[in-house]
Structure 1
């Protein structure tokens, strides 16, 4: 099933890291078994995308490729084995590809080829390109249906604003993995970045009380104000990370029993003690979702003596995405500027978009490219 696809379309192509991106006319992909062709409305630009594509992060990926991560768009065509997706349907395009015959194979096309031979093979030979293009070919299972009438005409979200899902879904995957319950208290640390700020929104929408940790007092204040202005209520406290383990632990203890921790600590925070402080205040049987990349931060005795669960989590599962869409469609998140402040750029303005994304970070902030 398909609408008429053009023979060529515009895409943001990276021939080599040294040469950088160029907008080019490339052949439009055609649907085959197990695939959908999506007409892209908005492609997400994460805060560190510039560092990936200029080689600073040294992520391994083959070139040439079309850049990009997750996206929002409409189905333009589907392969003959599609049973639900139809042309014209609005979908969220998930940027995580999983091996169909090996669930342990996971990677991010156009971003990182993963750590296994299977993921390297898939990125090299099958799913290499991202979504910074007019059209993208993606696996059927990577298309998550969205109720456009409810989200856009009922709740008033724009297609570009819905791209904020690519921030919100990651913390939801971590919080669902540790089974966060309504009424529980969760520490989000650090909470002033893109994923941490989104984690605050998600945890409150799930009915939890949040203690947000961060070094930037101005951003912590903005985070708290953003939450209060929305329909989420004001169920949030903030704690400044001082760099002193005892001081931070005492500040957290002042808010009483803590049930869970959601961690997004970057590699640069490996020497920071804030995660030790957060884990130190967990109740007996508490849980910590470790979605960051900091190392050597475990308070060993606490973990053993109080039966603390530490769970690493990469992104989210398909069931997480389907469940999250239900929460969004039920109106449990705010709308308008209380949901996200989105900056929009064209493919030709990719440099400006990457630069903007590096600065326009934190709760409710998003940058997108539109073909």
Structure 2
């Protein structure tokens, strides 16, 4: 498709200020250029705290006005002259994690957060400011991963997996914990603690760890939710441990099924004073690994002596690497990791741009394992 075949204008959600609600506006349609793909957005993921990002509660830095959004599923509408494999018409996963081409350490979340370097801020305030809550999005070529449409969307009798497009948007939720679990080298047959396991990203971590062949010890504050999680995934490879606030007692409970190889934590900011991170570290075998991916902004207590004497490895991971996306898509296309109803997952709502407020509410109220909400412009 040439740029002349794109409509002159399109509709997009726009954030002008955290003091006023976003508004749907008509804007000039972005145009292709070198290194650029224009994607017709079909389903963009809505994370549970999206409202808190755009009303200022989370205090995320980003330029304004801004077309908000995150990762999405779309169809390539046009590409720049230097595209060699990406073609109009292809179904793609659009990744919101954008890196500097000349320095990948400059990284930011399109539509969400400008990142932490001068380079990342330059990119978000300039060439890549707007995101996917729009009919069309301008994105870097390299953030588009082509999906096997026939395999993913065809009915089961025809050799497909029978997914709907909106179900594929959950890929972005799975990618975050996959980045952390892969970063610490989680292997089939190992045992990993996931905490907190009943939220959106924690629940996704349980699903990913199981697909990677691991056994999971799911940790959380609500026993009923933990039991529901275990029942939902089935298979006999998930154990549950409610947090009690007693460091030693919780560590002992985590070890009652045998040796623990890894601990994955993706706690929210509110968990800064929780004792569960220390319990998780104390439960590890010698040589165990820790992945810290949560949003805690304060310092947390680490049992230094145990980490040193037991040769433990603590690693932080912000999001994931480019190769992780391709690996995960292969797992999904192979049927190893399920993203639809067949895997017990559900899209709780599919909303148009004008219904963004209802979409944000649905995402807030349905933030458990396997629940997703999408905006379909």
- CA offset digits 1:117-146 (Å, max 9, x no partner): 111111111111110011000000100111
Q: How far 1:106 moved relative to its partner? A: 0.7
Give the corresponding residue for 2:346: 341
Alignment match, 2:124: 123
Q: Is the 8 A contact 2:233 2:344 kept in 1?
A: no
Superposition map of 1:61-80 within 5 A: 61-80=62-81
2:206 matched to 1:200? yes
Tell me the residue number matched to 1:291: 293
Aligned pairs for 1:81-230 (under 5 A) are 81-153=82-154, 154-228=160-234
**Structure 1 portions without partners, runs of 5+:** none
* Residue in structure 1 matched with residue 35 of structure 2 by the alignment: 34
1:337, distance to aligned residue in structure 2 (A) = 5.5
How many correspondences in the alignment? 367
In structure 2, distance between residues paired with 1:108 and 1:145 = 20
Pairwise CA RMSD? 1.1
TM-score (norm 1): 0.97
Q: Which residue of the other structure, out of 239, 244, 247, is the alignment partner of 2:246?
A: 244
1:257 aligned to which of 240, 256, 259: 259
**1: CA distance between counterparts of 2:288 and 2:162?**
38
Tell me which residue corresponds to 1:306: 310
Asked if residue 320 in structure 1 is aligned to residue 321 in structure 2, the reply is no
- Aligned partner of 2:15 in structure 1 is 14
CA distance in 2, matches of 1:333, 1:139: 27
Q: Point out 4+ residue stretches in structure 1 off by more than 4 angstroms.
A: none
- Matches of 1:337 and 1:297 in 2, distance apart? 40
CA contact under 8 A between 1:333 and 1:339: conserved in structure 2? no
Structure 2 CA distance for aligned equivalents of residues 159 and 238 of structure 1: 33
Unaligned runs of 5+ in 2: 155-159
**Which residue of structure 1 aligns with residue 157 of structure 2?**
none
**1:364 matched residue in structure 2:** 370
Greater strand content:
1
- Tell me, yes or no, if the aligned pair for 1:270 and 1:297 is still in contact at 8 Å: no
1:293-344 CA-to-partner distances (Å, cap 9, x unmatched) read: 3331311111000110000001001100001100100001234153421121
TM-score by length of 2: 0.95
Within the alignment, does 1:332 sit opposite 2:336 as a pair? yes
**CA deviation vs aligned residue, 1:169-215 (integer Å, no higher than 9, x gap):** 00111111111110000000111111000000000000000000001
Question: How far apart in 1 are the matches of 2:94 and 2:224?
Answer: 34
1:268 equivalent in alignment to 2:270: yes
Aligned partners of 1:112 and 1:333: how far apart in 2? 29
